[in-house]
Amino acid sequence: MVIQGHEERYVPGIQGETCVTSKESEEFLKKGHAYAIRTKWREALAWYDKALLLDPSNPEAWYLRASVFIETGRNTEALADCERAITLDQNFANAWSKKGHALYNLERYEEAVSACTRALGLNGNDATAWYIKGVCLDELGRVKEAQEAYGKSLELEIILDIEKEKKRLG
């Protein structure tokens, strides 16, 4: 579908389809994010849906919507959105991490460990991926590996807190 006044472009991997990209789509994502940080999930989801209608080739939009789905307990939908984001960008570390989170919530621990491992291969400083990996390893009885993952998560959280405090102080 092409909306008048918007740019049309080829999207590799989407069976030769074209889709619309626009500043409007990015604005919808920003509005969705503004609602999401205030935990207004229904409103955030509505804006993310609008962005995806305009540009279904944007992996960030799929990832952001997956985040809302996880927050609202819709883990199967979150997993599907993460997979779509990853299809569009195999190296999207946050989407791999969020996929691990959705899989954990679905009690698919081995798959969650794999997704988190992939996320950490792309961004070893993802404290959440380390933590979820640790929880899943714990569930699988792999206690030593779980403790290592928890330790890395805690170390990164401390570093992030210090950096945040430095920024706050100026």
User: For 79-129, how does the pLDDT look when each residue is reduced to its tens digit (9 = 90+)?
Assistant: 999 999 999 999 999 999 999 999 999 999 999 999 999 999 999 999 999
Side chain identity, residue 90: Q
Q: Count of residues for the chain?
A: 170
Is the whole-model pTM more than 0.85? Answer: no
Q: Which residues of the chain have pLDDT under 50?
A: 1-20
- Residue 169 has a pLDDT of 87
